[in-house]
């Protein structure tokens, strides 16, 4: 823009030592940030040292080192920050997430743009995890890549600074860490109760008999099936509520559909047992001692799970 101060570029680097999920939306990160300052020329105002993390919930920063040569000065800070970020859990437990560190220059008045200090990294290929501790451990997650990027954010205030155009149009530096959930533990711990409930429901369905001899032998009783289904329903419901509370998800996620399928199966088995004991003859229910519901139980359940999986993972 005419009359606007030309931007000055400040090389900035990030090295992450630890990442920990405190909750579903809070991430604690520790590491180092450094900045490389060239010697100011005559008449040029020196850039203020430092940085801000605008998305920090809590932040601790202390200077760790300072080195100088004839042409430049490098200042490094150790930081410990808790960031509150929004994640998309719609494909839980097969989800990928991005943990990012958003950096601002210390000054608002000057047109300063932070740029990645790429010369400080041996390899900048995102798949080699530049800027990440070699043995970084994130409980329940595997780091996949790391990289810098720019984003332009728009604000509804000028922060009390006259140079509003500098703030509004300034690209902001982000350091991103792409992580993939280790799906085996949450998949087994959350899917195992559903599988056991479905097996128990199928076992109850197999006790549906019309002949008195077989009915007494297997203990079939519509009231017993409804009571047992009610108990299983509350067991699944509690597991469902605990899972959703732990994720604090804003949308329905993949594994949640399996709970909905289980609720539907419980309801249908209850209705089936009631209709089977009624005096009215219903071909699909009474044919050969409730053979059709028994025969189609697993095909229908597995087909519903397959359709959910297909729709969820083929979304454009």
Question: Mean pLDDT, the chain, as a whole number?
Answer: 86
Burial tier of 13 (Cβ tally within 10 Å: 0-12, 13-18, 19+): buried
- Residue 41 burial class via C-beta count within 10 angstroms: exposed 0-12, middle 13-18, buried 19 and up: exposed
User: How far does the chain reach from its first CA to its final CA, in angstroms?
Assistant: 38
Query: Once rounded to an integer, what is the mean pLDDT over residues 137-141?
Result: 91
Specify whether 25 is located in the same domain as 66: yes
Q: Give the mean model confidence (pLDDT) for residues 280-286.
A: 73
Name the more confident of 24 and 53: 53
Band (2; pLDDT cuts 50, 70, 90)? very low
Question: What's the pLDDT tens digit per position in 227-265?
Answer: 889 999 999 999 999 999 888 888 899 999 999 999 999
* Lowest mean pLDDT, pick from 6-15, 32-41, 211-220: 211-220
Q: Does residue 194 share a domain with residue 178?
A: no
Evaluate whether 275 touches 208 at the Cβ level (below 8 Å). no
Confidence band, pLDDT 50/70/90 cuts, at residue 267: very high
165 shares a domain with 203: no
119 alpha carbon, distance to own chain's centre: 32
Mean pLDDT of 164-190: 84
Is the pLDDT higher at 288 or at 86?
A: 86
Asked whether residue 217 carries a pLDDT value surpassing 50, the answer given is no
CATH number of the domain residue 158 falls in: 2.70.170.10
pLDDT level of residue 222 (50, 70, 90 thresholds): confident
Residue 109 to residue 53: CA distance in whole angstroms: 17
Q: Which residues of 108-136 are buried (b: 16+ CB within 10 A; e: fewer)?
A: bebbbbbbbbeebbeeeeeeebbbbeeeb
Q: Within this chain, do residues 295 and 226 fall inside the same structural domain, yes or no?
A: yes
* Number of structural domains in the chain: 2
**223 and 96, same structural domain?**
no
Does residue 1 fall inside a structural domain?
no
**Which residues are 38's β-sheet partners?**
72
Q: Quickly state the pLDDT bin for 1 (edges 50, 70, 90).
A: very low
Nearest Cα residue to 226 out of 274, 265, 262, 261: 274
β-strands 8-21, 141-151 pairing? unpaired
Is 100 part of any domain? Answer: yes
How do residues 143-157 score in pLDDT, each as one tens digit? 999 999 999 887 777
Mean pLDDT of 132-138: 92
| Parent domain of 274 | 189-313
pLDDT exceeds cutoff 60 at 212: no
- Model confidence at 107: pLDDT above 90: no
- For residue 2, tell me if it sits in a domain: no
3-state secondary structure of 50: coil
Average pLDDT over residues 50-75: 92
Q: Are 207 and 219 in contact (CB under 8 A)?
A: yes
Domain C-terminal end among 149, 182, 215 = 182
Q: The pTM is what?
A: 0.82
Q: Is the pLDDT of residue 68 over 50?
A: yes
Q: Are residues 171 and 196 in the same domain?
A: no
| Residue 166 shares a structural domain with residue 85 | yes
Same domain? 206 vs 268:
yes
CA-to-CA distance for 222 and 292, rounded, in angstroms? 18
**Any domain includes 216:** yes
**Domain stops at, among 182, 213, 236:** 182
Q: Say if residue 110's pLDDT is above 90.
A: no
Q: Is the pLDDT of residue 114 over 60?
A: yes
Find the mean pLDDT for residues 289-312. Answer: 92
Report whether pLDDT(224) > 90: no
Separation in Å, CA 220 to CA 203, 263, 268, 274, 292: 11, 22, 17, 12, 17
């Amino acid at each position: 823009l005419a009359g606007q101060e030309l931007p000055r570029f400040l090389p900035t680097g990030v090295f992450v030592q630890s990442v920990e999920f405190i909750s579903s939306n809070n991430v604690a990160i520790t590491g180092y940030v450094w900045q490389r300052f060239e010697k100011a020329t005559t008449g040029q105002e020196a850039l203020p040292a430092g940085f801000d993390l605008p998305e920090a919930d809590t932040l601790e920063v202390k200077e760790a080192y300072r080195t100088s040569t004839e042409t430049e000065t490098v200042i490094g800070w150790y930081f410990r920050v808790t960031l509150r970020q929004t994640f998309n859990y719609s494909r839980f437990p097969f989800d990928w997430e991005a943990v990012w560190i958003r950096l601002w220059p210390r000054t608002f008045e000057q047109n300063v743009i932070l740029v990645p200090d790429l010369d400080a990294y041996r390899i900048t290929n995102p798949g080699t995890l530049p800027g990440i501790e070699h043995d970084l451990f994130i409980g329940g997650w595997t780091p996949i890549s790391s990289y810098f990027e720019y984003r332009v954010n728009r604000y509804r205030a000028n922060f009390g600074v006259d140079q509003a155009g500098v703030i509004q149009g300034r690209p902001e530096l982000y350091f991103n860490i792409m992580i993939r959930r280790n799906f085996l533990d949450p998949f087994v711990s959350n899917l195992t109760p559903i599988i056991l409930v479905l097996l128990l429901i199928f076992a109850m369905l197999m006790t549906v008999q019309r002949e008195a001899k077989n009915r007494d032998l297997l203990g079939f009783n519509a009231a017993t099936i409804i009571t047992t289904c009610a108990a299983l329903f509350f067991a699944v419901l509690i597991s469902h509520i605990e899972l959703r509370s732990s994720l604090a998800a804003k949308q329905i996620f993949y594994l949640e559909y399996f709970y909905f399928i289980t609720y539907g199966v419980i309801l249908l088995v209850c209705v089936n047992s009631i209709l089977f004991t009624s005096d009215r003859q219903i071909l699909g229910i009474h044919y050969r001692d409730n053979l059709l519901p028994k025969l189609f139980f697993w095909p229908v359940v597995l087909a519903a799970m397959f359709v959910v999986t297909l729709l969820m993972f083929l979304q454009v």
